[in-house]
């Protein structure tokens, strides 16, 4: 019978239910109190359990079996087979006990069995257990010549409680299905938002590439052509203005080349998320040596353009990081060096790049300028550099702090990796 119940449940039940998933602590306490009440009152009713005759022995055996199976049922929790076995044995023992002792609260055992089976099992499985309970009760009742009204009323009560259990089961299933549907809707909404954000990033990357990169390339080509035309003039016949124009063109070519490099870096960071989503896997980060090389080149440029010492300190073993994290680190160092040149010209600057076990850190430190030592560029710019860096750090999942620290001005970026 047990294997039949399990097979029928697996074939017909829409979904398994955790036996105690929706059982409040108060109901568990009531079940324990009910068992104790039955154990305390059944021995007081006539006939008493004992060894006086077969009737008394049967009541005692049924009471012991019910107690053991009740405890197993309360502790079964997620073990469905154990729960079914305990309910099935209680159906036989509880129905028999109620039939042998019809004038005691023993019928409560059978009522709990049928209602719990209706809640936790499929219709077919719970019907089998309910029919077993009713049959055991009627057989035992007829054996001891129980009153007719008892033989008719108790089975009706058991069937009614089974129907109540089915109603409760349908309610629980609907509630769980509603929760699952809500969770799926939330996930779908989050996935839709992420897809929209990735699509927007890809669109922006295309616009940057199509407009800015192409424009810079065209400007570079024209500047190089102009440089070539001017370079064809005889060196001995050049006017000083021509030489100065060639120098300006060379600088413009260098700036354009740097701008194209920065544009490619920005496009790489924008496309990294979209490409990773399309490939259903994480995008490969840039080689760690590239970020170190770019920061070293940046420090060399600032050292060559100004009169301040710029040192690059590398801490930890370099490793690959995402394009967005690398771009954020580079932009932070670039903005901090520019601010140091603007507000503390001539003061030494230290750029620290740390590959921590779980983070990438950039720290740029320079001496605080004197009260009257601000450079001529101190009031240039829009004043949103650090604000933009904080926003960029937040988008990359990191944090950026800037302010006085131990008599120096410190800009510290930390991005978890």
In a domain, 247, yes or no: no
Residue numbers of the domain that contains 142: 2-146
Using 50, 70 and 90 to split pLDDT, how confident is the model at 286?
low
Instruction: Tell me the pLDDT tens digit for each residue of 177-219.
Output: 888 889 999 998 888 888 887 777 777 776 666 666 656 666 7
- Which sign, positive or negative, has the C-alpha torsion 171, 175, 176, 181? positive
In a domain, 269, yes or no: no
How many C-beta atoms surround the C-beta of residue 221 within 10 A? 12
In whole angstroms, what is the distance from residue 53 CA to residue 100 CA? Answer: 13
- Residues 244-254 have a mean pLDDT of 75
Biggest alpha carbon distance in the chain?
137
Using 50, 70 and 90 to split pLDDT, how confident is the model at 361?
very high
Domain count, the chain: 2
Note the pLDDT of residue 240: 73
For the chain, helix, strand, coil in percent to 5 are 70, 10, 20
In whole angstroms, what is the distance from residue 11 CA to residue 376 CA? Answer: 83
In a domain, 248, yes or no: no
Q: Which of 146, 168, 200 is the last residue of a domain?
A: 146
Instruction: Tell me the pLDDT tens digit for each residue of 76-115.
Output: 766 778 888 888 898 998 889 888 888 888 888 888 899 8
Q: Cβ distance 269 to 207 under 8 Å?
A: no
- Residues 13-31 have a mean pLDDT of 61
In whole angstroms, what is the distance from residue 155 CA to residue 157 CA? Answer: 5
pLDDT, the chain, mean: 78
In a domain, 203, yes or no: no
Using 50, 70 and 90 to split pLDDT, how confident is the model at 277?
very low
Using 50, 70 and 90 to split pLDDT, how confident is the model at 222?
confident
pLDDT exceeds 60 at position 223: yes
Q: For residue 363, give the CATH number of its domain.
A: 3.30.565.10
Instruction: Output 84 or 249, whichever has higher pLDDT.
Output: 84
In a domain, 415, yes or no: yes
Residue 194 tokens read as 């992420």
Note the pLDDT of residue 3: 59
Instruction: Output 328 or 230, whichever has higher pLDDT.
Output: 328
In whole angstroms, what is the distance from residue 124 CA to residue 126 CA? Answer: 6
Note the pLDDT of residue 345: 79
Beta bridge pairs of residue 412: 363, 401
Please give the share of the chain, as a percent, with pLDDT higher than 90: 12
Note the pLDDT of residue 218: 67
Note the pLDDT of residue 43: 80
Note the pLDDT of residue 364: 93
Determine the 3-state secondary structure of 404 from DSSP: strand
pLDDT exceeds 70 at position 382: no
Note the pLDDT of residue 371: 57
Q: Which of 120, 146, 172 is the last residue of a domain?
A: 146
Residues across the chain:
417
- Residues 384-392 have a mean pLDDT of 80
pLDDT exceeds 50 at position 279: no
Note the pLDDT of residue 413: 94
pLDDT exceeds 50 at position 410: yes
- For residue 13, give the DSSP letter: -
Q: Which residue from 349, 244, 268 is spatially nearest to 305, judged by alpha carbons?
A: 349
Q: Pick the most confident of 8-17, 182-191, 384-393.
A: 182-191
Instruction: Output 131 or 228, whichever has higher pLDDT.
Output: 131
Note the pLDDT of residue 288: 66
- Residues 360-372 have a mean pLDDT of 82
Note the pLDDT of residue 388: 80
pLDDT exceeds 90 at position 352: yes
pLDDT exceeds 80 at position 317: yes
Which whole-number Å values give the CA distances from 179 to 59, 114, 172, 183, 184, in the listed order?
A: 46, 27, 11, 6, 9
Q: Cβ distance 77 to 20 under 8 Å?
A: yes
Q: Which of 123, 146, 169 is the last residue of a domain?
A: 146
Angle between helices 323-343 and 240-278 (to 10 degrees): 150
Using 50, 70 and 90 to split pLDDT, how confident is the model at 276?
very low
Using 50, 70 and 90 to split pLDDT, how confident is the model at 398?
very high
Instruction: Tell me the pLDDT tens digit for each residue of 48-66.
Output: 677 777 888 888 888 888 8
Using 50, 70 and 90 to split pLDDT, how confident is the model at 381?
very low
In a domain, 242, yes or no: no
Note the pLDDT of residue 351: 93
Using 50, 70 and 90 to split pLDDT, how confident is the model at 14?
very low
Instruction: Tell me the pLDDT tens digit for each residue of 144-182.
Output: 888 888 888 989 999 998 998 888 888 888 888 888 889
Please give the share of the chain, as a percent, with pLDDT higher than 70: 77
Q: Cβ distance 345 to 384 under 8 Å?
A: no
In a domain, 383, yes or no: yes
């Amino acid at each position: 019978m047990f294997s039949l119940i399990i097979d029928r449940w697996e074939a017909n039940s829409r979904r398994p239910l955790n036996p105690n998933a929706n059982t409040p602590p108060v109901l568990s306490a009531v079940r324990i109190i009910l068992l104790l009440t039955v154990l305390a009152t059944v021995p007081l009713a006539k006939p008493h359990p004992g060894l006086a005759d077969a009737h008394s022995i049967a009541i005692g055996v049924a009471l012991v079996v019910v107690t053991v199976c009740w405890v197993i049922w309360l502790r079964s929790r997620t073990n469905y087979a154990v729960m079914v076995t305990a309910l099935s044995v209680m159906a036989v023992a509880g129905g028999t006990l109620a039939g042998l002792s019809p004038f005691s609260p023993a019928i409560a055992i059978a009522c709990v069995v049928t209602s719990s089976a209706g809640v936790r099992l499929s219709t077919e499985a719970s019907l089998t257990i309910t029919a077993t309970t009713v049959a055991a009760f009627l057989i035992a009742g007829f054996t001891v010549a129980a009153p007719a009204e008892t033989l008719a009323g108790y089975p009706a009560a058991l069937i009614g409680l089974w129907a109540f259990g089915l109603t409760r089961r349908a309610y629980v299933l609907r509630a769980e299905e509603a929760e699952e549907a809500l969770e799926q809707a939330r996930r779908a909404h989050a996935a839709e938002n992420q897809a929209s954000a990735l699509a927007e990033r890809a669109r922006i990357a295309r616009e940057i590439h199509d407009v800015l990169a192409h424009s810079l390339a065209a400007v570079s080509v024209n500047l190089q052509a102009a440089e070539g035309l001017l370079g064809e003039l005889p060196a001995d016949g050049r006017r000083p203005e021509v030489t100065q124009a060639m120098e300006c063109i060379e600088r413009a070519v260098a700036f354009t080349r740097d701008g194209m490099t920065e544009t490619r870096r920005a496009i790489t960071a924008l496309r990294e998320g979209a490409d990773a989503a399309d490939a259903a896997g994480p995008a490969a980060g840039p080689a760690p040596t590239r970020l170190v090389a770019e920061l070293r080149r940046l420090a060399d440029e600032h050292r060559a353009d100004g009169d301040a010492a710029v040192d690059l300190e590398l801490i930890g073993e370099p490793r690959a990081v995402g394009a967005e994290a690398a771009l954020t680190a580079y932009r932070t160092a670039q903005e901090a060096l520019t601010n140091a040149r603007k507000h503390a010209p001539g003061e030494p600057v230290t750029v620290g790049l740390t590959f921590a076990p779980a983070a990438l850190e950039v720290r740029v430190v320079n001496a605080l300028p004197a009260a009257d030592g601000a450079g001529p560029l101190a009031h240039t710019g829009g004043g949103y550099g650090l604000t933009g860096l904080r926003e960029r750090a937040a988008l990359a999942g990191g944090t950026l702090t800037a302010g006085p620290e131990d008599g120096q001005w410190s800009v510290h970026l930390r991005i978890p990796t």
